[in-house]
Structure 1
């Protein structure tokens, strides 16, 4: 597992967002703290043409659980907006617990290299890294990785068909 405790990850904004409001929303809860420059990662920006991407940088948001709760609660009155949650590795269990409290608002929880077994109807693993000697990126795969974005897009497409 990668180490997410580097002090540089805690700098920058706790939450960044891109995309039109009032549309489907993807809430990315990132334990690695990507997107430190007030923008969602470049690999996610094309999605922001049609959906809202809200990127929560956990190292820069020490009270991230209350922030997630607040974002989910904000969607309570907006029944027209679909909400999907993406997270990875060490946060999978905590995020699933938070979503359980708001399961009527969330369409799916998409997981990348979760550290726990997933037993929640709304959750599904979209990427699982291979533990091989030639694997250059240790698990969990960064949420900004192009393979993660492609897997999320594919999973969201499966949900709409």
Structure 2
């Protein structure tokens, strides 16, 4: 399991976003804190022409749970808003619990290498790391990894 406690991960913006306002929103809650440079990772930019991608960097936003809860509560009555959440590994259970309180707004929770068993109709595992000796990327896969982007895009296409 990767270590997400590096001090450099706490620097930079807490949230970055890209994509058209009013589009379906993908909220990426990233425990690793990628997107250090005020932009979403380059691998995700191909999706930003049709999706609003909001990337929350957990190491730079230690109060992320209350921030996400406030944002979701603020949009609760907006029937135009549709939200999918992507997260990974160590915070998957927390994100699922948070999303359960907003099931009217959250269409799906898409997980990468979750550390919990998944048994919810609106939760899907979209990518898993390879558990082989020559794997160079330890679990959980970075949310900017091309396999993750592919899995998210595929899941969103299936959801319609």
TM-score normalised by the shorter chain: which range applies?
over 0.9
After superposition, the Cα gap between the structure-2 partners of 1:142 and 1:117, relative to the gap in structure 1 and judged at 3 Å, is same
Partner of 2:47, secondary structure, is: helix
- Which residue is 1:62 aligned to? 62
For residue 36 of structure 1, report the CA deviation from its aligned partner: 0.8
Query: Which residue matches 1:82?
Result: 82
Whole-Å Cα distance in 2 between the matches of residues 77 and 38 of structure 1? Answer: 30
TM-score of the aligned structures, taking structure 2 as reference length: 0.97
Q: Which residue of 2 aligns with 1:53?
A: 53
Aligned length: 160
RMSD of aligned alpha carbons: 0.8
State the alpha-carbon separation in 1 of the partners of residues 22 and 74 from structure 2. Answer: 12
**Per-residue deviation, 1:80:** 1.4
- Give 3-state SS (helix, strand or coil) of 2:106's partner: coil
Deviations, residues 99-122 of structure 1 (Å, cap 9, x unaligned): 011011010000000001012221
Listed one character per residue, the Cα deviations across residues 66-101 of structure 1 (whole Å, up to 9, x for unaligned) are 111122123223211210000000010000000011
Question: 2:149 — aligned with what?
Answer: 149
Gaps of 5+ in 2: none
Does structure 1 residue 5 correspond to structure 2 residue 40? no
Q: Secondary structure at the match of 2:86?
A: strand
Mapped partners of 2:109, 2:90: distance in 1 = 14
**Distance in structure 1 (CA, Å) of the matches to 2:78 and 2:51:** 15
SS in 2 for 1:138: coil
Question: How far apart are 1:21 and its partner, in Å?
Answer: 1.0
> Alignment partner of 2:154: what SS?
helix
Extract structure 1 runs of 4+ deviating beyond 2 A: none
Q: Which residue of 1 aligns with 2:26?
A: 26
1:94 corresponding residue in structure 2: 94
